[in-house]
A and B are shown apart, each in its own frame.
Chain A
Amino acid sequence: MTRTRALIATVAATLVLIAAVALAPVARAADPIKVGFGMALTGGLSANGKPALLAVQIWKDDVNKKGGLLGRPVELVFYDDQTNPATVPGIYTKLLDVDKVDLVISGYGTNLIAPLMPIAMERKLTIMGMFGLANNEKYQYPNYFQIQPAGPDPQTSTAIGFFELAARQTPKPQTVALVGADAEYPQNAMVGARELIKKFGFKTVYDKNYPPSTVDYTPIVRAIKATNADIVFVASYPPDSVGMLRAALEVGLSPKIFGGGMVGLQFTSVMQSMGPALNGIVNYDFWAPEPTMLAMSGIKEFLKEYQGRAEKAGVDPLGYYLPPYSYALVQILGQAVEASKSLDQQKIADYIRAHEFSTIVGKVKFGKNGEWAKGRTLMVQYQKIQGTGIEQFRGPGKKIVLYPDDLKSGNIIYPYSAALK
């Protein structure tokens, strides 16, 4: 009897041990690596958030086709942040505590990255930022890396090419009108522009903000026209960019150089609708289908895949603004995981900080505050756009890269009025 009891006890103990080993939370080869994020799938920034999501999904599929990361498949866990910063803490707490994601990336845009920073710092996460302007200036958190090629001085990055190009023209323009929306990105860009105006010796004749819900931009444009400024720098979000541009054409605003920091003109739907009204505008951008940009490794394959899936996903059909960078962001994270052979947040961050990465948007090396070590915000000019057909925007010749010099694909048409003819 005693022997039988001892046998039962031994079997039971063995079963418990087996069960304990089997149920232990040890990652197995088949367990996916979870990448978590919130993304603007509805709300004001969703026109960019949804294409960004598609780019990340394409990366996931590409990686999984090649066997995943560390031999494990990649899975995305994401939630709609509704372009509402208040949702971000809840989303990331759920991702980390309930979904148990292994890696996190930010949602799209400065306002959505800002509430993530304290969480990332508290939990010592490696955090990849998707198009945030100067989010880490205050915190200087060493494990933050941001993919928008703003460079070490994000506040001046939007405007530097614009004012440098203006300063190169002969005769040199003298006066500047500045106008921007009362929102975080435009205000940052305006601060940078003011700094550059001093640096290049221009004189400010108009410097005003407007609320983002403005309906009629004609009075603003008329007030700018009354100053007769040589340079008009606009820092705006998509509806205001369209409103400002239409009002400029209606009022007959004709400075020597016009544009700068207008968000939205890069979107295919806006380019199609505005058509020739864009001609002559000199504006910041991050990507253009010019030979100098298409030379980067892997970009053509990515764009082919993106454009093939864009219609079904109901997103920007060309994807030239944010998607290549969204893909590059997760490309870097994936390369760092593979190279450091670890999911340890600190090891991944140390690797990213110390190395240069080959991506579809070119070589990326991070520097101060997790920004690109060297800025690469493009300044492009819309030229010779005819009608509103989408096909003309697929290839080169319509959005000429003017700045920086190493990516230049053509010359500026100056003054602005000459490009309108």
Chain B
Amino acid sequence: MFSWDLLANAVVAGLLLGGFYAAVSLGISLIFGLLDIANIAQPAFVILGAYATYVTNTAYGLDPILAGVLFTPLFYLVGAGVYRIYYGAFERRGDEALRGLVFFFGVLFIIEVSLSMKFGVDYRLVQAPYIGKSIDLGGGVGIAYRYLVPCVVGVAMTLVLYLFLGRTFYGRAIMAVSQDQLALRLMGANPVQIKTIAFGIGIAAASLAGALLISIAPVIPSTDRDYIGRMFAITVLGGMGSIGGTLLAAVILGVIESLMSTFFGPSWSLAVSFGILLAALAVRPAGLFGR
């Protein structure tokens, strides 16, 4: 069944999917990769972002991406608040390893159940002029806008975060806090404040990722469970805390999934993707761009 246009389409679809995976994984890359906080509630925040988008899209007809952007300040504040609670209750006392994990499990379930109570458990979708349409690139290769928009936004998010971490004071402070908190304190910066900012940014990224997710596929409150594995896998494969690595790992996962779906049967796609992840980690335990 091989044909060149099928191959080209599979690669293009995989690249687009990778861009979306990167958007979904950036928050966890920041929080888990850089801050070493095992925030397993991150996918639930993504779904919360998806529902926030759904509400504004259905009530006011607001574009899903715009809605996702508008909610980022609110999500930032929520993220900062959650980190403060986590810090006060666990991290400060050195209890973060296991009890912190349980805390985030709790947050995940609280978000999931709250969404179920408020919105019920029907599948929710959004409307936008570009959803359901595609462009023909010629040569039998086509791109669905539903994937193109999330990919572009995902790459843009990666770039912004990359520049923020490398070029700004707070960005550098976040990089520093992940390496040596004592040194940071000696430089006159407060590690807790820096971590609060980083955690807030990670949760703000979830708002936008949720908007992208609901543009692609319908969501219910428990959709987060489909993404937990992928998000952590991408973060680890990219190298803990490496923003560029997250994008590359996401693209690798997307392209492999897409190629497997097209040529060898979709049931192999996830198994092969994760098989390659394991193989890559065997060769480079720190991930592609790990320190």
Contacts and interface: CB of A to CB of B under 8 A. Distances in A.
Interface in A1-56: 41-44, 46-47, 49-50
B123 interface: yes
Contacts of B119: 314
Contacts of A223: 1, 6, 261-263
A315 B123 CA distance: 11
Nearest to B118: A314
A249 interface: yes
Q: How large is the interface on A (under 10, 10 to 19, 20 to 34, 35 or more residues)?
A: 35 or more
B174 interface: no
A269 interface: yes
A222 B262 contact: yes
Interface stretch (B63-71, B126-134, B197-205, B282-290): B126-134
B267 A209 contact: yes
Interface string B114-139: 00111111111101000111100000
A388 to B, nearest CB: 7
Nearest to B109: A42
A171 interface: no
A201 interface: no
A344 interface: no
Interface string A213-243: 1111011101100110000000000110011
Nearest to B254: A216
A246 B266 contact: no
Contacts of A269: 122-125
B226 interface: yes
Interface residues of B, number: 52
For the residues of B in contact with A, the DSSP-based class is helix
Interface stretch (B33-41, B155-163, B215-223): B215-223
Given A211-B269, A216-B17, A219-B262, A239 B218 contact: yes
A277 interface: yes
A249 B134 CA distance: 9
A260 to B, nearest CB: 17
A220 B17 CA distance: 14
Interface in A67-91: 83
Contacts of B124: 269, 273
Contacts of A239: 123, 217-218, 223
Interface string B8-20: 0110011011001
A250 B132 contact: yes
A161 interface: no
Which of B112, B113, B117, B120 gathers most chain A CB within 10 Å? B120
Given A215-B17, A314-B119, A388-B127, A209 B266 contact: yes
B147 interface: yes
Interface in B10-59: 10, 13-14, 16-17, 20-21
Contacts of B259: 219
Contact of A42 (B146, B222, B265): B222
Contacts of B9: 218-219, 222
Given A226-B6, A270-B123, A273-B125, A208 B218 contact: no
Contact of B266 (A83, A211, A264, A277): A211
A44 B218 CA distance: 12
Which of A251, A268, A277 gathers most chain B CB within 10 Å? A251
A267 interface: yes
Contact of B123 (A47, A50, A252, A313): A47
A209 B21 CA distance: 22
A102 interface: no
A413 interface: no
Contacts of A277: 132
Given A249-B132, A250-B144, A219 B216 contact: no
Interface in A269-317: 269-270, 273-274, 277, 313-316
A271 B120 CA distance: 17
Contacts of A216: 13, 16-17, 147, 216, 254, 257-258, 261
A250 B142 contact: yes
Contacts of B192: none
B3 interface: yes
B125 A267 contact: no
Interface string A366-379: 00000000000000
A246 B121 CA distance: 21
A120 interface: no
Given A246-B132, A270-B218, A215 B20 contact: yes
B89 interface: no
Contacts of B226: 213, 215
Given A209-B265, A316-B122, A247 B3 contact: no
Contact of B269 (A210, A242, A252): A210
B222 to A, nearest CB: 5
B149 interface: no
B270 interface: yes
B1 A213 contact: no
Contacts of A246: 131-132, 144, 146
Given A214-B257, A215-B20, 11 more contacts: A42-B221, A210-B267, A216-B257, A219-B261, A220-B261, A222-B262, A251-B134, A264-B123, A268-B122, A314-B118, A314-B121
Interface of A: 41-44, 46-47, 49-50, 83, 182, 208-211, 213-216, 218-220, 222-223, 226-227, 238-239, 242-243, 246-247, 249-252, 264, 267-270, 273-274, 277, 313-316, 388
27 contacts: A42-B121, A42-B222, A46-B222, A47-B120, A49-B121, A50-B120, A208-B267, A210-B265, A210-B266, A215-B226, A216-B13, A216-B254, A218-B9, A218-B144, A218-B147, A222-B13, A226-B3, A239-B123, A239-B217, A250-B132, A250-B142, A251-B142, A269-B125, A270-B218, A273-B124, A274-B125, A314-B119
In the complex, the 3 A-B pairs of residues with the closest C-beta atoms, listed nearest first: A210-B266, A314-B120, A273-B125
